[in-house]
Structure 1
Amino acid sequence: MTNANPKRSLNRRTMLKTGGAIITTALFTPNLIRPAQAAESILLLTWETYHDDEWIEAWGRANNTEVRAVRIGSVDELFSQPNSGAVQPDVLYIETGSLSRFKDAGLIKAIDVGQLPNAANISPNLDWKKYTEVGGEVVGVPYNWGTQPLMFDADVVTKTDSWTILWDTAYEGKVNMFDDCTITFPMIALYIGAKDPFNLTEDEFNKCADALRALRQQIRVIARGFDDATSIYAAGDAVVGYCQNVAVVTALQAKGKNFRYSLPKEGTPTWIDCAAISKQGDRPIVYKFLNDNLGLDWQSRFIKKSTNNGVLSAEAARKAGLGDDILKVTNIIDSADAAFWNKLVIFQKPENLDRRLQMWNDFKSGTL
């Protein structure tokens, strides 16, 4: 197994060109709480498709603020960059299971949700407050959510409802995984039948180690982000795998590839990516940016162009001008059904991340 050569530019994958940006005058009303000539800056540590340069540049011009985006390829990288001092972001986009890790490391602080009136646009189907409190404080507000399902080339693989297919020797050398321990390990835990994939027993850890050893021979290349995964599947180097984001599937479909995804019966890991602020990010202009990001105009454009779920309900998304042709590509309509959520396992704090990271690194190096 080898690592795909990562693209170290800002782009990690090709985005779907599903439509133009929806930009309204109201969205970009200049910030009136600062002196007119007082230039400010905001640094984002974010993901591809979340904040296109043209969007943040337009917002910045309207608000006399320089907004820059550093885009990362994994949760592990998201933590290591600010923790090492390589970057000093004002805003970080963190999945719920990692919020306590970032808070404990002093990388983020409590958010004053009262300064984000557009948080009212977050779908009631997204029970986010349950997962964003650390020590009694809200430290993140959702920007996007999504599933990490099983994806496959439907011309080669019959649709399956189990993670076991990744270990099927019929697909040896044709399975793809991505290099992110934090959001990959829970799938391994679900596969081995762990009672709680975020609180493993010693026996369950041993079973995970066995599963990883067996999985290694199935994988020829491990992906580094969305771009790499899309390229690997498009080239035919993989036909089935663990999907980092369903937008990879829609990107392949846009290339004419017959890829599909399914939610395995063992459960599908599900993330809620939240905007979190650092100490230096605790400023009015940052709150204004976050609030505008939760507006109907910004969210509808984000959903339309990226095919991500954003945070809107189907009702709000339709109100914002999105048709069912767009919504059906996402999980937004599905999310209104309680039965849909029963298939999902939302990321939570793991019992021993260091141990998981060590096992994952040993898996990649072949020393497990």
Structure 2
Amino acid sequence: MIPTQMKHATTAMALVFAGLAQTASADTLRLLTWGGYAPEEVVELFEAETGHTVEVTKSNNEEMIAKLRATGGGGFDLAQPSQDRIAGPQAEFGIYKPMDLSKLDQTQFIGSMLSATIANTTVDGAVYGVPHVWGTSGLVTDTANAGSVKDYTDLCNADVAGKVSYRLKRPTLIGFAFSMGLDPFAAYGDEAAYKEIMGKVEAKLTDCKPGVKTYWGGGDELMGLMRSGEVVASMAWDTGGWKLNADNADITFVAPASGALGWIDTFVLPAKGKSDDAAYAWINFVMKPEIAAMITNAAGNFTASKGADAFVSADLKARYQASFPPEAVDKINWYPPVPAGLEAIEGGVLDRVKAAK
């Protein structure tokens, strides 16, 4: 017979091993994400379907990178930084681990977005990110009064002079460059070439300055300008255009002919994450079109889930499909990571345009 003390020791040891086994199963997903990207109803459905539990921590790009740097990539199993916050931090700090794309249902992704994100998050031959939520900046126009505005440089057209606006920020420089037939992103690795492109954009913006009503600084300011009719065309974000469309059917977001400028918030695996299986299960789950639509309804932005627009609210679906037919989605110019030194070039251009008479 086993002595009573040995029984107790054996039982205690069994409990310890059971606890370790439960930890090793790693069935809790610790998700570091943005507000609206993991709605409670989606979490509940995922937990019921998979048996995994989810702990959600809401954050932003700066905080995400800071948290992962502080722990060497620990504390979370899945994070959602923007795609331009992956290659640089990974090369410098090693806070992510490569993704195994074979564990993802790639057919659920919009192909052009998946390809762009893979290209922008590849470091030393390994892929570190796949796309989730995205948005764009492009044109918001009063179609009844600014029908000629189809691309960024059309904001310089004589028929809308005095009734256009945009921000004096880098998206305006990038958008105008593409509209002028230039490719600023292709010049990211050549500082001299980038200066030449920015010089041409500076000349164009300076020439167009007399026709600008004002350079808007915040979304509320632009909303007021468009609603009052003081401005009939501007550069702006897609969600702002759709909000205006809800009040005035003539005003809407237009994807520019040369391509809207796109940002993507991704999925990445932190270097010391313990629940990779749960992380892959979450990605595959939320990329289902019906589930992705629930996230769009909560966050206001669309996801890279193919066909999800068919399941969002009717009003948002109609606005999205009018602004983004498939060919417009494929033409989006996705922001890549910004090399050191380029923002200083852009800052000089913006200062000179602002000071120009």
| Range class of TM-score, shorter chain | 0.5 to 0.7
Which residue number corresponds to residue 254 of structure 1? Answer: 246
Which residue number corresponds to residue 190 of structure 2? Answer: none
Which residue number corresponds to residue 174 of structure 2? Answer: 186
Shift of the alpha carbon at 1:64?
4.4
2:270 counterpart of 1:278: yes
Shift of the alpha carbon at 1:254?
1.8
Which residue number corresponds to residue 14 of structure 2? Answer: none
Structure 1 residues 341 and 67, CA, compared in 2 at 3 Å: closer, same or farther?
A: closer
Q: How far, CA to CA, are the matches of 1:168 and 1:310 in structure 2?
A: 34
Structure 1 residues 56 and 219, CA, compared in 2 at 3 Å: closer, same or farther?
A: farther
Bigger radius of gyration: 2
Counterpart of 2:343 (choices 349, 356, 359) is 356
Aligned 8 A contact 1:108 1:276 in 2: no
Shift of the alpha carbon at 1:300?
2.4
2:324 counterpart of 1:330: no
TM-score, normalisation: structure 1? 0.65
Which residue number corresponds to residue 146 of structure 2? Answer: 157
Structure 1 residues 105 and 188, CA, compared in 2 at 3 Å: closer, same or farther?
A: farther
Aligned 8 A contact 2:99 2:129 in 1: no
Shift of the alpha carbon at 1:280?
4.8
Which secondary structure does the structure 2 equivalent of 1:158 belong to?
coil
What does 1:300-311 align with in structure 2 at a 5 Å threshold?
A: 300-304=293-297, 308-311=301-304
Structure 1 residues 37 and 210, CA, compared in 2 at 3 Å: closer, same or farther?
A: closer
Q: How far, CA to CA, are the matches of 1:333 and 1:234 in structure 2?
A: 19
Code of the residue aligned with 1:106 in structure 2: it is F
Code of the residue aligned with 1:158 in structure 2: it is G
Which secondary structure does the structure 2 equivalent of 1:160 belong to?
coil
How high is the sequence identity, in percent, across the aligned residues? 14
Code of the residue aligned with 2:182 in structure 1: it is A
Aligned 8 A contact 1:60 1:67 in 2: no
Which residue number corresponds to residue 43 of structure 1? Answer: 32
Shift of the alpha carbon at 1:355?
2.2
Shift of the alpha carbon at 1:152?
1.1
Which secondary structure does the structure 2 equivalent of 1:177 belong to?
coil
2:207 counterpart of 1:220: no
Which residue number corresponds to residue 82 of structure 2? Answer: 94
What does 1:1-368 align with in structure 2 at a 5 Å threshold?
A: 41-44=30-33, 46=34, 49-52=36-39, 54-55=40-41, 58=44, 64-71=53-60, 78=61, 80-82=62-64, 91-95=79-83, 99-106=86-93, 108-114=95-101, 116-124=103-111, 126-128=113-115, 129-168=118-157, 170-172=160-162, 174-177=164-167, 181=170, 183-199=171-187, 200-213=193-206, 218=212, 220-224=214-218, 230=223, 233-234=226-227, 238-244=231-237, 246-256=238-248, 258-281=250-273, 283-284=275-276, 285-304=278-297, 308-314=301-307, 327-331=317-321, 336=326, 339-340=327-328, 343-349=331-337, 352-360=339-347, 363=350, 366=354
Q: Deviations over 1:122-160 (max 9, x none)?
A: 134645244443321111111134543221123442242
Q: How far, CA to CA, are the matches of 1:309 and 1:51 in structure 2?
A: 13
Aligned 8 A contact 1:150 1:261 in 2: yes
Aligned 8 A contact 2:152 2:179 in 1: yes
Which 5+ residue runs of structure 1 have no aligned equivalent?
1-31, 72-77
Aligned 8 A contact 1:327 1:333 in 2: no
Which residue number corresponds to residue 74 of structure 1? Answer: none
Shift of the alpha carbon at 1:309?
3.7
Q: How far, CA to CA, are the matches of 2:85 and 2:30 in structure 1?
A: 26
Q: Which has the higher helix share?
A: 2
TM-score, normalisation: structure 2? 0.66
Shift of the alpha carbon at 1:175?
0.5
How many residues align? The count is 316
Aligned 8 A contact 2:112 2:330 in 1: no
Structure 1 residues 281 and 295, CA, compared in 2 at 3 Å: closer, same or farther?
A: farther
Instruction: Give RMSD over aligned pairs.
Output: 4.5
Aligned 8 A contact 1:113 1:119 in 2: no
Which secondary structure does the structure 2 equivalent of 1:264 belong to?
coil
Structure 1 residues 361 and 331, CA, compared in 2 at 3 Å: closer, same or farther?
A: farther
